[in-house]
Amino acid sequence: MLNRNANLANLKAGYLFPEIARLRRDFAALNPDAKIISLGVGNTTEPILPAINHGLAAGAQALGTIEGYSGYSDEGLLALRERISTLWYKGMFSADEIFISDGAKCDIGRLQLLFGSDVPVVVQDPSYPVYVDGSVLIGAAGAWIGTGYKGITYLACTEENGYFPDLSKVPHNALIYFCSPNNPTGAVATKEQLRELVCAAQESGSLIVFDAAYAEYIRDPALPKTIFEVEGGIDCALEVNSFSKSAGFTGVRLGWTVVPKTLKYACGARINSDWSRVVGTIFNGASNIAQAGGLAALTPQGLAEIRELSDYYLGNAALIRDTLLNAGVSCIGGDNSPYIWAHFPARDSWEVFRELLEHCHLVTTPGSGFGPAGESFIRFSAFGHRAVIEEACRRLAAYYTSLKGGWEKSHD
């Protein structure tokens, strides 16, 4: 019999989102008449808009013709890489610094192979659980000690620090995961804050993995959409991004990673060359149909559709946020991101999760699933059909009204 990879045994619990899906199933089995609404997993719900969908369909059609057929394209279509460079980065990267992927999450998992198991890992707390769980899988997280892993530095992002962490705790030569707009808090770092982050990385010899999966939700033009807007970012950061939440490609699967050639390891070798080697070895390229859709998404019409779709979800977010605020629940996010981060002081996140499921038949995500600083918070996702979101808001409002005296008083 084979030994189990010891790193797997180090995982504290099941992956957050399947756990939530399991709890939903259990509740539905016991309450078959309940009309459960999910504001939990950040999964898109709206149809792909026409110009982008036409790109996908045309991509599929082309495969049935001699001229249009294509096979493997490991590194991604040249035209797509060039368009991403032009549109997102003002042409500052050559095509061989942009790698097309099957999604940001998949690249985050593969990126961890570059740095081995000895690298100190830094995360915003709270943050998307893949950064921590992926680090556990490659043996970089160490043992579980109470509320976190020994090898991970958790940088608390709280109301007190405006959801931007104290960077003085970044260890030397670390891998820093930084997500803006942040999942789950919805907070977006300002340009000045990203400058601080870049300085902290440079001073500590660290590398930033900047996750910009929600950048298309930024509406405030003063807020940066990429780490490369900040001087020095190119020397200490790589960036992952995705078509999932912008074009509705959560199921189609398409993303990209920028690995500037300026990035080097301590030994002087180029990170870009190793990344090319890693993806060339264990990834066979994104679907050519998805890439045809990606190209369509980056035409003027496609970009207008991205805007329309993200506006729709931001409209949902505003409804949820206003409902919570009217009920006296303090929350942030939802203005430049599809998530609302709601505070339930002194409450256990999972307890609030169960309460919302039982009383409102709403599935949410408990904040503690995103890190220790997420305790007492609940993340509400704004992905859903408008009518469903409105119904969820009615239930929330009715529930809080029924608590007579308000949410906080009934839970003192």
Tokens 């256990």 belong to 348
d(CA 272, CA 9): 32
Closer to ligand PL4 at the Cβ: 288 or 327?
A: 288
Contacting residue, 42, 120, 338, 369, with ligand PL4 by CB under 6 A: 42
- Under the binding rule (CB under 6 A), the answer on residue 357 touching ligand PL4 is no
Element (H, E) at 184: none
For ligand PL4, the closer of residues 170 and 252 by Cβ is: 252
Q: Which is nearer to ligand PL4, 242 or 336 (CB)?
A: 242
Helices 300-326 and 386-402: crossing angle, nearest 10°?
10
Q: Write down the residue that tokens 């950064």 correspond to.
A: 131
Residue 401 C-beta: closest distance to ligand PL4, Å: 29
Q: Is 105 in the site for ligand PL4 (CB under 6 A)?
A: yes
C-beta closer to ligand PL4: residue 81 or 105:
105
Distance between CA 101 and CA 318 in Å, rounded?
Answer: 31
| Segment interacting with ligand PL4, rule: CB under 6 A, options 47-55, 98-106, 140-148, 226-234 | 98-106
Report how far Cα 169 is from the mean position of its chain's Cα atoms: 23
Q: Are 103 and 242 in contact (CB under 8 A)?
A: yes
Residue 92 found at the interface with ligand PL4 (CB under 6 A): no
Does 41 bind ligand PL4 (CB under 6 A)? Our answer is yes
- Told to check if 104 binds ligand PL4 by CB under 6 A, we report yes
Question: Which two structure tokens, joined as six digits, stand for 327?
Answer: 């009920």
> Of 44, 124, 193, 244, which lies in the binding site for ligand PL4, with binding defined by CB under 6 A?
244
| Nearer of residues 56 and 327 to ligand PL4, judged by Cβ | 56
Which of 97, 125, 133, 211 touches ligand PL4 by CB under 6 A? 211
Q: Which is nearer to ligand PL4, 41 or 199 (CB)?
A: 41
Which of 45, 202, 250, 276: binder of ligand PL4 (CB under 6 A)? 250
Q: Find the farthest-apart pair of alpha carbons in the chain and give their distance in angstroms, rounded.
A: 70
Whole-angstrom Cα distance, residue 200 to residue 83?
A: 31
Any residues with CB less than 8 A from the CB of 174 and at least 6 apart, and which?
A: 119, 120, 121, 122, 153, 204, 206, 207
User: Can you tell me whether residue 331 is helix, strand or coil?
Assistant: strand
Stretch that binds ligand PL4, among 53-61, 103-111, 152-160, 196-204 (CB under 6 A): 103-111
Q: Which is nearer to ligand PL4, 361 or 379 (CB)?
A: 379
Residue 341 bridge partners (DSSP): 332, 379
DSSP category for residue 2: P
For ligand PL4, the binding residue among 7, 11, 17, 270 (CB under 6 A) is 17
Q: How far apart are CA 338 and CA 315, in angstroms?
A: 9
Dihedral of the alpha carbons of 214, 251, 25, 317, in degrees to the nearest 10: 30
Q: Which residues pair with 264 in a beta bridge?
A: 270
Using CB under 6 A as the binding rule, whether residue 134 contacts ligand PL4 is answered as no
Number of residues this chain uses to bind ligand PL4 (CB under 6 A): 16
**Binding test (CB under 6 A) with ligand PL4, winner from 10, 44, 135, 183:** 183
Query: Least separation, in Å, of the C-beta of 242 and ligand PL4?
Result: 3
Q: How far is the CB of 159 from ligand PL4 (least distance, A)?
A: 21
> What DSSP letter does each residue of 195-207 carry, written as one string?
HHHHHHHHHHT-E
Binding site for ligand PL4 (CB under 6 A): 17, 41-42, 103-106, 128, 179, 183, 211, 213, 242, 244, 250, 255
